[in-house]
Structures are given as C-alpha cells and as structure tokens.
Amino acid sequence: MKFAKLGKSGLTVSRLCLGCMTYGDKTKGWHGDWLLGEEESRPFFRYALEAGINFFDTANAYAGGTSEEITGKLLKEMARRDEVVVATKAYIPWRQSPNCGGNSRKSLMQAIDDSLTRLGMDYVDLFQIHRWDDSTPIEETMEALHDIAKAGKARYIGASSMYAWQFAKAQEAARANRWTPFISMQNQLNLIYREEEREMLPLCEDEGIGVIPWSPLARGRLARPSGGETVRSKTDGFGNTIYDDDDAVDHAIIGALEGIAEARGVKMASAGLAWHFTKPSVTAPIIGATKPHHIDDAVDALDIELTAEELTALEGAYRPKLPKAMGMPLPPMDKVSIIGK
C-alpha cells in the first residue's frame, strides 16, 4: 500500500479509501439490494486492512445509519483506533422534522453526536458536510464545524460535492474568522464525469486540499464493458440518475478503457482507477467492494502508470456535461430518508 498526506494536513491516509456505503441493512434507507449486512461485510473490512488500507468513509445517511454501526463495530474488532482514519458525513435529513438535517449549527451538533454513538467512537478523524446548504449562512456552518473540531469530536473537517465558488467561500469564511478550514473535498470524479477538472481540482491543488473522489469508477460502469449489468446497476436508482447508459461518448470512453486494460493485461477497474493518480490533487479514490477482487483490482491500480498516449485515448472523446448530484437540495419533509428510525 502507498500512503500520502491528506492535502496539506498532517493526516496520513492510504492512497485508497474503502467506501462503506456498501455495508448496511438493505431494509433501511434508500440504497438498494446490493447492500451487504454485518456478517457479509466482515471479510471486506479484514481484507482491506490486510491490504494496508487505513482510510474508511461512511455517512449518517448510508443505509439508515446502519453503515456507521457496521463500520464502527468491525473496525473496533479488527484494528487499533489510532491506526485507522474514519470519515463520516452529515447533511441529509434523518427524520421528518425541522432541524433534523442540513448544515445549521443545531443539526451538525446533533449529527456528530449521533454518528459517534452509532460508530461507538469518541471522535472521527474527518467530519464532512455532505452537500452545500443554501438555507444556512456558511459562517454558521463553519463556526459549528470549528467548535466540533475544537471539542475533540472531529480531528479534521472536509466537504463533499458543491461548486468551486461555494467551497472557496467556505474556506474564506474560516480563514477570515480563524476557524478550522476544510482539508479535503469529496467530489464526483471519473473518466466519464470530469467536470470537476474545470474549477474544483485546480482550486484544491492551489489551496493544498486533498481530493477523495466518490464514484471513481462511475458506479461500476468503468469496471466492465458497456452493456454489462449487475445487481447494483439494476437497483441503484441514484446512480441511474447521474449516469446515462445510452450516452455514446461514455461508450467510446469505456471502450478505450477496455482496450487499454486488455493490452496491459489488467482489469478495467485497475486502469480506470489508475487514471485518478494522474491528477495531482487526488489523494485517495473511494472504492466500493462487494467481491474480494474489487480490493485486489484497486490495489493493482497503484502500480499502473498510464502513458501520454493512453491518457489521450482515455480523455480525447470526453464532452462537457451538466453537473449532476452537485446541489442535492434538502428534499421536502415528506420525502426524506429516515435514518435509524
């Protein structure tokens, strides 16, 4: 395993992060039939740790909070707390009631306490806002996150998908008031969705922000030839709203990736993940794993250095796309996914 600092912070993380959205009670929340319960999840945490992965990402909204419960329980069984880096997120409503979601001071203070309870931990290493909240002043959000960090409940803070101007505004609010700044950006980035290269990645590189991309393989679309189906692809409602499986340009990119992987004798997933390491600001793609070889393929990516010719083949067909899954506004109170109960 290879390691790096997360941005310009002193936090050392593996170059791969295990995404724990995959692990949870499939009867809770809104994720799908591809979720793995506690016993099914156990081998993947063990395998990830044995592969040298020390970085684990979850969220209060994943599988109705049960992802946090499984993540905390299994890591406690298998690892020393000071040797793993645990990240979680808040923003998505956890109950059909005002103040039970979003990035207000009241909501974030409750969310961190609830997450720590589910994780069975005294602190998380990285506490992230899952999305931007238009209904809360950013100064209120950043001061609340600062107080959470100073209270020792989070060692560092980060953010997830938003526009670059919003992220810059948040950082400036922290800087101007001497509050704790974000050290990381968890955004959507992969070969068929590269809109973050326009502003967010340059901003993060300039500011020393560590990028930890979600969906680095486009929800599995970059791990198999076009047209292939899995249980997740058939039941992943969210993924099917942010990717168009009939997009001819995407098919061309996937085809190019397939050709490069075949020529190199590696898996498509390995080659697709290797592309991320050509981006200076990317620290650790967040990988999902429902089969042991998913972790093997991700680890293999660390030793693949794509050539200039291969990058041209992979990137040349790309065309601009409208940002998707960026704002993710708070849904009406009668449409929220209830967390835990």
pLDDT one-digit tens code per residue, 149-170:
999 999 999 999 999 999 999 9
Please tell me the pTM assigned to this model: 0.92
Map tokens 């047209």 to a residue. Answer: 227
Mean pLDDT of 299-314: 98
Domain residue ranges in the chain: 3-315
Residue 22 DSSP label: G
Query: Is the confidence at residue 259, as pLDDT, over 60?
Result: yes
In this predicted structure, what is the pLDDT of residue 229? 59
In this prediction, residue 337 has a pLDDT band, given cuts at 50, 70 and 90, of very low
Contact 219, 269 (CB under 8 A): no
Query: Is the confidence at residue 25, as pLDDT, over 60?
Result: yes
* CA distance readout (Å), 275 to 53, 63, 261, 310: 19, 30, 12, 10
Query: Is the confidence at residue 330, as pLDDT, over 80?
Result: no
In this predicted structure, what is the pLDDT of residue 322? 80
Question: 3-315: which CATH number, 3.40.50.450, 3.20.20.100, 3.30.70.141, 3.40.50.2000?
Answer: 3.20.20.100
Query: Is-catalytic flag, 193?
Result: no
Better pLDDT: 230 or 209: 209
Query: Is the confidence at residue 238, as pLDDT, over 80?
Result: no
**What's the CA gap between 194 and 295, in Å, rounded?**
24
Catalytic residue, chosen from 62, 91, 156, 193, is: 62
